[in-house]
Structure 1
Amino acid sequence: MKFARSCAALVFALTASLALLPTSASAETKLKMTLNWKFEGPQAWFFLAQEKGYFKAEGLDVQIDSGEGSAASIPKVASGAYDVGYGDLGAIIEMASKFPASAPVAVYMMYNVTPYVVAVKANSPYKTLKDFEGHTLGGPGNDAALKLFPVVAKAAGVDSSKVNITNMAPNLREQMLMRDQIDGAFGFMLTVAFSAKAIGIDPDKELRFIKYADSGVDSYSNTLFFSQQIVKNHPEVVQGFLRAVNRAIKEVIANPEPGLDLVMKRDPLLNRNIERERLIATYKLQMSSPEIARIGLGDVDDVRLKRNIDLIVSTSNLTRTPALTEVFDRRFLPPRSERPSKL
């Protein structure tokens, strides 16, 4: 049985490796990428890198698929269904602890400001996470804030067993909150705010946000990550991908409109004005930690990353603490001089 499993693993690894080799017809390496969420403004740089040929210039043919949540993209890459993903670092840390042989590796940090919140109605009595004991919180099953709740609850002294959790489709989250079907909604602050705005809710007047950061969870969030197989055996693929994305990020920040054109091309039913606001708010609020003036966008502070790892390991009662390099590998980043220092 062990021999059979070993053979199966070898066949899988060889198949994955062969899939990355350029075909004679295209001479390009094919990659499958899963996003963090459905198509939206803050993904504009990926579409720009694809449409303007930046991936192609690096010898890459990248297929970009929408996602189902920031935590959901990690197992998709770990399983081999995708080569590269965009999603939550906390989920990578947990998988690196539990399944070190298959966990993907983060290579470019995008959201360096903690985005996780519980959204409540502006006139609700809930002020802190402790107030939700005996009440109901809800969110999509793959939402990263929901997945991280046991960690922040323990850090904030909340008995999570006393909090009722319910799941819903992503498009129902804000509606259920406003109809009092849930007392609070898990999510990224900007995702909830702009999803609310898209259905006629004024988030500035009708919502409040209880931030995880106020409970001492100063965590990184969305990051680009690759499978271990590619990181180890095809470093040039990772480097080329990051060069293309980094180039596109700078262009979108300088002029968002071409990137928004491509977002709208993928989902014409989106509200362009709302997606523009969402995009700009994302890079100004979620990607603009003061630390990037020192280390540049894409990199992490090792001391802060170690705190992130230790917090998730301790509060989730994990038995293994992954090394920093198992979670984040900066070797593939474009040179510091080429990465943004201010957004």
Structure 2
Amino acid sequence: MKLRSSFAGLLTLALMAVAGCGGADEPTGASGASAGGSGLEKTTINIGTMPVVDTAPLQIAMEKGLFEAEGLDVKPSVLAGGAEAIPKLKGGSLDVSFGNYVSFFGAAAKGAIDLKIVSDGFQSAPKTHVIMVPKDSPIRTVADLKGKTIAVNTKRNIGTMLVRVAGRAHGIEIDEDENFAEFPFPEMEGALKAGTVDAAIVVEPFGTFIGRNIGARVVWDTSQGPTADFPIAGYAATSEFVAANPRTVAAFQRAMRKAQKLAADRANVVAAIPKYTKIPASAADGLAIGAFPTALDAARLQRVADSMHEYGLLDAPIKAQDLVFAGE
């Protein structure tokens, strides 16, 4: 899932910038290195992240020493987009990575990777994922999108699914292949202004900036109705890594739970955003910010899997529970 920022140059800059227990024994991890007296199989872990609002808790955890308190030395690796996470996890250059659930579930269902979700990350909230049109567009409701061209950052992913759910709720079917055109988030403002597309499914901080820059209007906030409070993204590891390093993963989970809890205070998120993105503090304060769940709940994530199957993003149903590592 690729979220970024703007004000003309800021849009591009954001994308470029662009989510154990102690014991007496000293177990050996997959690399063969002893974890010393920490009780962890592996103390240094490589984490895939993105400089977007969704990963604020990860930044908070690093800043406040929450990983260090668990005996972990976290090495963040910035990804250009969520699609990078799958091959890097599979290849072992990342131990854990941030990514959107649609990508993770889709890759697992296709057999591209055997993974486990180890921490929840981000949940939609009002204005975090919106459908926008130019200010002078005749489109006034979701029903008016029938037969129109809609910009999305990636086809057959979370954005198209949210638009199609909105369309069905308004009595229209939006075709996955015919009605969407791919544009990176920083280019959507120009596409709307030029009339290249009729609408765009936009995420924060782009929604805020596109509205300010060209007066684009929101015709539908996707965080309502059937997709209200929708699980968007989390952190995953390969099943092999989890099996070989259960105490290390549990330590990561404990640190993230504490960080997600701290992120419930909007001030902590707003303060963190400018430190790892190109979004200035003045802009961060005005963004729509989603929620950061503290519990990894398979029942919640099943909503994503069920919607994916309903809208043709999964050939067969899957059980989110099978992909979740609850840990402690």
Indicate whether the TM-score tops 0.5: yes
Give 1:240 shift.
Answer: 0.9
Residues 193-221 of structure 1 deviation map (CA, whole Å, 9 limit, x = unaligned):
23436xx428xx64214244557345421
Would you tell me which structure has more helix in proportion to its own residues?
1
Q: Give the superposition deviation at 1:116.
A: 4.0
8 Å contact kept, 1:106–1:327: yes
- 166, 170, 173: which one pairs with 1:158? 173
Deviations 1:162-194 (A, max 9, x none): 744322333222232233222111233x33323
Deviation at 1:160, TM superposition (A): 0.7
Pick which of 244-253 and 152-161 moved more: 152-161
User: Secondary structure of 2:113's match?
Assistant: coil
Distance 1:201 1:153, change over 3 A: same
Q: How many percent identity over aligned positions?
A: 20
Deviations 1:301-327 (A, max 9, x none): 62x543432331243164433223223
Give the match for residue 245 of structure 1.
256
| 1:223 equivalent in structure 2 | 234
Aligned residues: 293
* Aligned mates of 2:327, 2:237 — CA distance in 1: 13
Corresponding residue to 1:89 among 101, 104, 128: 101
**Which residue does 1:140 correspond to in 2?**
153
Q: CA RMSD in A?
A: 3.7
Kept in 2, the 8 Å contact 1:132–1:163? The answer is: no
Instruction: Name the aligned partner's letter for residue 173 of structure 1.
Output: M
- Aligned to 1:92, the other structure's residue is in SS state helix
State the secondary structure of the residue aligned to 1:240: helix
CA distance in 2, matches of 1:311, 1:68: 26
Which aligned pairs between 1:143-292 and structure 2 lie closer than 5 A? 144-148=157-161, 152=165, 155=168, 157-160=172-175, 163-188=178-203, 190-196=204-210, 200-201=212-213, 206-212=216-222, 216-217=226-227, 219-254=230-265, 256=267, 263-267=273-277, 269-278=278-287, 281-282=288-289, 286-287=290-291
Deviations along 1:125-177, one digit per CA (max 9) or x if unpaired, are 32454533432211333795435368638855414167443223332222322
The structural deviation recorded for 1:30 is 2.2
TM-score by length of 2: 0.72
Alpha-carbon shift at residue 250 of structure 1 (Å): 3.4
Secondary structure of the residue that 1:117 maps to in structure 2? strand
Q: Where does structure 1 lack aligned partners over 5 or more consecutive residues?
A: 1-16, 289-295, 333-343
Question: TM-score, normalization: structure 1?
Answer: 0.69
Task: Answer whether contact 1:34 1:82 (CA < 8 A) is retained.
Answer: yes
- Structure-2 separation of matches of 1:313 and 1:161: 13
Distance 1:21 1:119 in 2: 52
| Residue of structure 1 in register with 2:302 after alignment | 306
Query: 229-238 or 116-125: which moved more?
Result: 116-125
Distance 1:153 1:47, change over 3 A: closer
Q: Does structure 2 conserve the Cα–Cα contact (< 8 Å) formed by 1:32 and 1:64?
A: yes
1:33/1:83 contact within 8 Å kept: yes
Contact 1:230–1:237 under 8 Å retained in 2: no
Unaligned runs of 5+ in 2: 1-28
Q: Cα gap change, 1:162/1:179 in structure 2, threshold over 3 Å: closer, same or farther?
A: same
Residue 294 of structure 2 aligns with which residue? 297
Match of 1:10 in 2: none
Contact kept? 2:116, 2:238, Cα under 8 Å: yes
User: CA deviation digits over 1:2-59, x for unaligned, max 9?
Assistant: xxxxxxxxxxxxxxx63485577x9962222222x4x245533212322332212222
Contact 1:34–1:64 (8 Å) recurs in 2: yes
